[in-house]
A = this chain, B = another copy of it.
């Protein structure tokens, strides 16, 4: 069920700490960020960060890659785009919802 998955991803982003964390990764782009760097930047306990990170990874919003003892985290752009698509999906089936939509003639 797609809705469940979308809800989980939204819930994962619906916590200030995690949203902040996620945005840091989004900003970092392809380069990604090591866990330790994120921990210092966000100023939270390592265990707390690990907990949140785990959640983002479970929902597919973030990926990790090992580099020696350091773990590099990256935002998973395709998953985010899919989520954005899901939200905008059924928008406008019966009403105009703004300028962001497709090229359907007025």
Q: How far is the CA of A14 from the CA of B71 in the complex (A)?
A: 28
Q: How far is the CA of A31 from the CA of B9 in the complex (A)?
A: 29
Interface of A is mostly: helix
Shortest beta-carbon distance from A29 to chain B in Å: 3
Q: Which of A73-87 contact B (CB under 8 A)?
A: 77-78, 80-81, 84-85, 87
Chain A contributes a number of interface residues (CB within 8 A of B) equal to 40
Copies in the complex: 2
Q: How far is the CA of A23 from the CA of B29 in the complex (A)?
A: 30
- Is A72 interfacial (CB-CB < 8 Å)? no
In the complex, which residues of chain B have a beta carbon less than 8 angstroms from the beta carbon of A28?
Answer: 94
Q: Which 3 A-B pairs have the closest CB atoms?
A: A11-B14, A29-B95, A29-B94
